[in-house]
Amino acid sequence: MVPESFSESLQRLSAKISYQFSDITLLETAMRHSSWTAENDGYESNERLEFLGDSLIGFVVADVMYRRYPDFDEGKLTDLRKIVVNSTALSRVAINLGVGEFVLLGRGEEAGGGRTKTSILANALEAVFGAVYLDSDSQHAYEVAARLLNDSIDEALAALKKLDAKSQLQELAARLERPMPEYRVTNEGPDHAKIFFADVFLGEEMLGSGSGRSKKAAEEQAAQQACAILLTS
């Protein structure tokens, strides 16, 4: 059974997302995990709202990124969106909002630490966005999602910038359905002044070369050159 005070406690969650529900039962549904509804007949789980919220998040993040970063190509926008729209990132937003406190769980999930599980928190957050959409309209739902995900989008950009060239090349190759990068490294000179030379191949095609005082530096330079070629070809 749902605790009598549950609807009242959800007003705190409503305040945290800065949205006042006209129909608080939608937020109640968003908090019902399937493990709870399996033990309590007559209630709908949050899975349908989760489906709706997932679609909303995908659109909002794509739209915000498209407008915010006009110089980014489709590939970079896709990479950025992947960092934001995944269970780990969404669960962090849910944790910041304290969503776990309000989720209704079955006895097994509760005992197993479900209140802190990444997937449960991410799905509950998606359901919250779905509930906002049904309670208002697409514009209000867009504004709520964009505001709550704004920090995640900024963090994603910072994370993307931190990716080294070798990681970027590997992601590019996978996205373009090309062979994984292979580095062929040689070196010259005495041990105290050795210079490394690296060529990077995708299959039989050599796409970049680099040199440096370490194997890592040479491979990084080669990967940077290969990324530039792939992004402009």
- Amino acid identity, position 79: D
- pTM (2 decimals)? 0.70
- 141 alpha-carbon distance from chain centroid: 19
CA 164 centroid distance within chain = 19
Measured distance CA(161)–CA(146) in Å, rounded: 22
6-162 topology per CATH: Ribonuclease iii, N-terminal Endonuclease Domain; Chain A (1.10.1520)
Side-chain half-sphere of 126: how many Cα atoms within 13 Å?
Answer: 31
- Among candidate residues 50, 109, 126, 135, the one labeled active-site is 126
Active site residue 54: yes
Enumerate the domain spans of the chain.
Answer: 6-162, 165-232
Q: How far apart are CA 155 and CA 145, in angstroms?
A: 16
Cα distance between residue 57 and residue 225, in whole Å: 35
CATH dotted code for 165-232 = 3.30.160.20
Q: Choosing from 28, 50, 54, 79, which is the catalytic residue?
A: 54
pLDDT digits (tens, 9 = 90+) for 139-190: 999 999 999 999 998 888 777 766 678 888 888 888 788 999 999 999 999 8
In this structure, of 10-14, 69-73, 132-136, 218-222, the range with the lowest mean pLDDT score is: 69-73
